[in-house]
């Protein structure tokens, strides 16, 4: 790696986590739900010793290739390695586990600092327009019980229930930039919701509806720019 910093849309988010937790040379970092290893790469580029776990075997293989100096394993984030680690990071993981409080609690048992990130409120993320474009064919969605994880008060309360003392709760803005129509449509049309709609609507109609909704986000060069907010929680075991 060239050491120029985090890559892709996650760059501002990864940098915020690294800065907020003071990850640097010699830091030991556990990346829960490491995915393809982009956050782990960003941490390693700052000199950290990185361990990552994920249930997706293919993702773990990608992470190991991305960070060959790291240690990666197919393992449930709710059953983390014993460590101890200076920092345990759960980047965009809380909404993908059945019991986020349990995950935070177990992270606190093996880490001196716990960092977790989540999407902001729906109103704070331009990506909501994808759902709005599909809404005419999806009908009324049942609201999730209770406030979303992106609500600051709920995120703080979950950490406290997990036995963590919250040190900071930051906001990070990350733009998602797409080169053209095909680039912006590709991830949307591959989603489960879009595949459901596509069984009932011809592709041309679906494409036109989405692009019409995205028109306000079109840039002068024919691309698209959607700005989204994330929250970064940093806490320590109480």
- Position 148 pLDDT exceeds 80: no
- What's the order of all strands across the beta sheet hosting 164-178? 71-74, 49-54, 28-32, 85-91, 111-119, 224-237, 164-178
Q: pLDDT confidence of 2, banded at 50, 70, 90?
A: very low
Nearest to 32 by CA among 100, 78, 66: 78
Domains along the sequence of the chain with CATH: 11-124+144-177+228-237 (3.40.50.150)
Q: How would residue 145 be classed by pLDDT, with cut points 50, 70 and 90?
A: very low
How far is CA 110 from each of CA 39, 40, 150, 162, 180, rounded to the nearest angstrom? Answer: 19, 18, 25, 13, 44
Q: In this predicted structure, what is the pLDDT of residue 178?
A: 92
Structure confidence at residue 143 (pLDDT): 47
Among 65-69, 85-89, 99-103, 130-134, where is mean pLDDT lowest?
A: 130-134
Distance CA 40, CA 30 (A): 9
Pairing of strands 224-237, 111-119: antiparallel
pLDDT-derived band at 25 (thresholds 50, 70, 90) equals very high
Residues 148-162, mean pLDDT to the nearest whole number: 92
What pLDDT is recorded for position 45?
Answer: 97
- Work out the angle between the directed axes of helices 38-45 and 11-20 (0-180°, nearest 10): 50
Q: How far is the C-alpha of 107 from the C-alpha of 100, rounded, in Å?
A: 10
**Closest by CA position to 154, among listed 109, 106, 120, 124:** 120
pLDDT at 196: 84
Find the mean pLDDT for residues 170-182: 93
- Three-state secondary structure call for residue 209: helix
Element (H, E) at 172: strand 164-178
pLDDT tens, residue by residue, 118-129: 999 999 999 888
pTM, to two decimals: 0.87
Which is nearest to 129 in space by CA: 11, 228, 220? Answer: 228
Residue 140 predicted with pLDDT over 80: no
Q: Is the pLDDT of residue 236 over 60?
A: yes
Task: Determine which helix (DSSP H) or strand (DSSP E) holds 90, and give its type and residue range.
Answer: strand 85-91
Distance of CA 231 to the CA centre of its chain: 10
In percent, how much of the chain has pLDDT > 70?
93
pLDDT band at 77 (very low <50, low <70, confident <90, very high): very high
């Amino acid at each position: 790696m060239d050491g120029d910093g985090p890559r892709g849309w996650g760059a501002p988010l990864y940098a915020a986590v690294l800065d907020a937790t003071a990850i640097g040379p010699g830091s030991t970092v556990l990346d829960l739900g490491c995915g393809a290893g982009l956050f782990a790469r960003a941490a390693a580029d700052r000199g950290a010793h990185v361990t990552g776990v994920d249930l997706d075997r293919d993702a773990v293989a990608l992470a190991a290739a991305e960070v060959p100096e790291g240690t990666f394993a197919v393992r449930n984030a709710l059953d983390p390695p014993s460590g101890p680690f200076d920092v345990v990071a759960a980047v965009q993981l809380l909404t993908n586990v059945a019991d986020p409080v349990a995950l935070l609690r177990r992270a606190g048992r093996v880490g001196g600092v716990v960092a977790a990130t989540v999407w902001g409120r729906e109103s704070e993320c331009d990506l909501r327009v994808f759902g709005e474009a599909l809404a005419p064919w999806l009908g009324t969605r049942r609201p999730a019980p209770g406030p979303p994880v992106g609500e600051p008060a709920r995120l703080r309360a979950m950490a406290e229930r997990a036995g963590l003392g919250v040190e900071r709760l930051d906001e990070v803005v990350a733009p998602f930039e797409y080169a053209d129509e095909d680039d912006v449509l590709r991830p949307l049309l591959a989603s489960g919701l879009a595949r459901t709609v596509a069984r009932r609507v011809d592709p041309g109609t679906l494409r036109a509806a989405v692009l019409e909704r995205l028109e306000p986000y079109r840039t002068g060069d024919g691309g698209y720019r959607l700005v989204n907010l994330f929250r970064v929680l940093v806490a320590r075991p109480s």
